[in-house]
Amino acid sequence: MEDILHPSSQSGRPQTSGGVGRPFADIVLMRAVVYTADRRQPWAEAVVVKDGKIVYVGSSDGAATWIGPKTEVFELTGKTVLPGFRDAHIHPLAGSFNLLECRLTGPVDRSAYLARIAAYAEANKDQSFIRGGGWLSDAFPPGGPTRQELDAVVADRPVFLKSMDGHSAWVNTLALQAAGIDRNTPDPPGGLIERAATTGDAAGTLREWAAMALVESRLPPPTPKDLSIAGWAFMQMAARLGVVSVHEAMAKREELAAYREFDVKNELTLRVQAALLCEPEKGMAQVDDLKAMRREYQGHLLLPRTVKIFLDGVVEGHTAWLLAPYADRPGFCGERLWDPDVLTPMVAALAEADFQLHFHAVGDGACRMALDACAGIKDRSDARPMIAHCDLIDPEDIPRFRSCGAIANFQPAWFYQEKNFAQTTLPFLGADRAGRLYLMNTLIKTGAVVACGSDWPFSGELNTFNPLDAIQVSVTRRGLDADAAPAYTPEEGVELAALIDSHTIHSAFADFQEHLTGSLTVGKSADLIVLDRNLFAIPPAEISRTRVLLTIFEGRPVFRDPALAG
């Protein structure tokens, strides 16, 4: 695995001797702390870029021989140069589109939510429906928020508001009526309609995609113009945060069309790997449909070669699939979204069609299902299945990630005691399971490949896709605030270089791109970033204060802080 992740490098010596007969560089970065994410030469002080490629990694004296009259030279004393960050699990267009909607992120208080909703409705009287999200389950009872609460502030049009984790929706009475949901409506397969205890009427909270879709499918989808605006907004944010590649964790057809439009116009400022949704009720017939979508949308920087399979939901909705019952619901293990007898042949068919598998698995039962599925295809050459989230893993299953060739796709910004830990996670799971979540360090020690993503905008209380935020949380196992709770299982804190690897070269490996990008290695694409300080010399609690000064993608700057002199 080491040789796969870190191919042989010529870094440290110029391509020709003495600069004779060699064209001058486009960009030279020198006198920096350079972490390459290439184990064969992890450290350097200079990087040289020419024609979109890295042509030299080594000393500043060696880099100086590449400087010509038109070379842009950056003197970076005290600053850090890294490979560009990669987000291995994110929803870019959905997240950016959410910025245009009713945003509830921030407070954990139902009164604050209702005030925001009322203010948004007043300011957007021309909208025939209200859509948005960001509410946290901890603000409400276990059954979730109610339609009556929403009706009190918006009664003249449907309202559909996703929770922060994206696995529940809060709807008002008009939204339920538009979808034809009443007390006689059965729970759809894989979904749950929360109901009033006394009447059996729909209470106002819908759990999981199958139930949420009953309402969301009645709402007009974003227009191409909406998605174009969202795409531009995301690319600008990503460039400022040093993100040069994303793995779109569930791309709808209209989103693929938006990405393709950017791609054919050569306007993408990052690479896009896209996962296509596979649903149990559609059966084997969907494999041909997925293959057709892959052919239709594959481009230069857009690669829809992955299939997303949801195996369960989330702990806070009691929909994560557990090996043993929830502590507060005896006999209930959550929602298993696939029957193993249906999943096994589907995974085999998708692997045979050369799709990468990307499993959503939060509970230990779902993680075991995913590993069982990965074991069934481990003899296929270079399958590289990913298991996303992996919140709870049974100890017996930890070594199976490496033995099955499964990539653990973690979201490090979650690795601390959020505000809902004491009210939700602890009582739902019980002390033992609540005390052994997010075992990223343990997985790394087994030799498993670990990639990192944010799941933004369903990215927890921090609601961030800034890799530096996630890196700080994973090192310290604490929130970013000075008054954050004590470190959560501090022994699971991950070493800084390993975290950078998981956000760069390991995520490139997860996307089958480790020979193209992901490390600062001669011959690879010049995808790199400059940070405003020496990341390896500051206290861990200051990592999130670090700023990206320069983002270079395929050899061209896509973001430059005005403070950076060239």
The enclosing domain of 205 has a CATH number of: 3.10.310.70
Higher pLDDT, 57 or 22: 57
What average pLDDT score do residues 509-515 get?
A: 98
Contacts of residue 71, defined as CB under 8 A and 6 or more positions apart, other chains included, come to 24, 25, 26, 27, 28
Tell me the one-letter amino acid at 116: R
Q: pLDDT by residue (tens digit) across 88-138?
A: 999 999 889 887 788 888 777 889 999 999 999 899 988 888 888 888 887
The band of 499, judged by pLDDT with boundaries at 50, 70 and 90, is: very high
The band of 1, judged by pLDDT with boundaries at 50, 70 and 90, is: very low
Asked if residue 347 belongs to a domain, the reply is: no
Tell me which of 187, 216, 245 is where a domain ends: 216
Q: What would the two tokens of residue 411 be?
A: 């979201």
Residue 6 in this model has a pLDDT that exceeds 70: no
Say whether both 181 and 151 belong to one domain.
yes
Say whether both 71 and 99 belong to one domain.
no
What average pLDDT score do residues 466-476 get?
A: 98
- pLDDT at position 197 is 86
Q: How many residues does the chain have?
A: 566
Q: pLDDT by residue (tens digit) across 240-250?
A: 999 999 999 99
Residue 325 in this model has a pLDDT that exceeds 90: yes
Residue 18 in this model has a pLDDT that exceeds 80: no
The band of 566, judged by pLDDT with boundaries at 50, 70 and 90, is: low
The enclosing domain of 25 has a CATH number of: 2.30.40.10
Say whether both 107 and 184 belong to one domain.
yes
Say whether both 70 and 122 belong to one domain.
no
Asked if residue 299 belongs to a domain, the reply is: no
Residue 286 in this model has a pLDDT that exceeds 90: yes
Q: Transcribe 244-257 into DSSP letters.
A: EEEEESS--HHHHH
370, 407 Cβ separation under 8 angstroms: no
Tell me which of 196, 216, 236 is where a domain ends: 216
What average pLDDT score do residues 418-425 get?
A: 86
Say whether both 212 and 112 belong to one domain.
yes
- pLDDT at position 461 is 81
Asked if residue 191 belongs to a domain, the reply is: yes
- pLDDT at position 412 is 97
**% the chain with pLDDT above 90:** 75
Residue 13 in this model has a pLDDT that exceeds 60: no
Say whether both 101 and 202 belong to one domain.
yes
Q: pLDDT by residue (tens digit) across 60-102?
A: 999 999 999 999 999 999 999 999 999 999 999 988 988 778 8
Q: What is the CA radius of gyration of the chain?
A: 24
Q: pLDDT by residue (tens digit) across 431-441?
A: 999 999 999 99
Q: Quick check: bond before 457 cis, omega within 30?
A: yes
- pTM of the shown model: 0.88
Asked if residue 418 belongs to a domain, the reply is: no
556 phi and psi, to 5 degrees?
-120, 135
Q: What would the two tokens of residue 24 be?
A: 């001058």
Asked if residue 357 belongs to a domain, the reply is: no
Residue 179 in this model has a pLDDT that exceeds 50: yes
- pLDDT at position 110 is 87
Number of domains in the chain: 2
Residue 395 in this model has a pLDDT that exceeds 90: yes
The band of 141, judged by pLDDT with boundaries at 50, 70 and 90, is: confident
What average pLDDT score do residues 289-314 get?
A: 97
C-alpha torsion sign, points 49, 51, 56, 57: positive
Say whether both 80 and 109 belong to one domain.
no
What whole-number distance in Å separates Cα of residue 493 and Cα of residue 267? Answer: 38
Say whether both 149 and 44 belong to one domain.
no
- pLDDT at position 20 is 52
- pLDDT at position 334 is 95
Q: pLDDT by residue (tens digit) across 199-244?
A: 899 989 999 878 988 998 888 888 899 899 999 999 999 999 999 9
Asked if residue 526 belongs to a domain, the reply is: yes
Say whether both 114 and 185 belong to one domain.
yes
Question: Helix-strand-coil percent breakdown of the chain, rounded to 5?
Answer: 35, 20, 45
- pLDDT at position 14 is 37
Asked if residue 494 belongs to a domain, the reply is: no
What whole-number distance in Å separates Cα of residue 121 and Cα of residue 130? Answer: 7
The band of 501, judged by pLDDT with boundaries at 50, 70 and 90, is: very high
Say whether both 198 and 170 belong to one domain.
yes
Tell me which of 159, 187, 216 is where a domain ends: 216
Asked if residue 248 belongs to a domain, the reply is: no
Containing structural domain, residue 102 = 92-216
Which own/partner pairs from 298-303 qualify as long-range (CB within 8 Å, at least 24 positions apart)? 299/260, 299/263, 299/264, 300/263, 300/266, 301/263, 301/268, 301/270, 301/271, 301/272, 302/256, 302/259, 302/260, 302/263, 302/268, 302/272, 302/274, 303/271, 303/272, 303/273, 303/274, 303/511
Q: pLDDT by residue (tens digit) across 535-547?
A: 999 999 999 999 9
- pLDDT at position 21 is 61
Say whether both 73 and 133 belong to one domain.
no
What whole-number distance in Å separates Cα of residue 456 and Cα of residue 248? Answer: 10
What average pLDDT score do residues 309-319 get?
A: 93
Residue 314 in this model has a pLDDT that exceeds 70: yes
What average pLDDT score do residues 312-332 get?
A: 95
Say whether both 136 and 197 belong to one domain.
yes
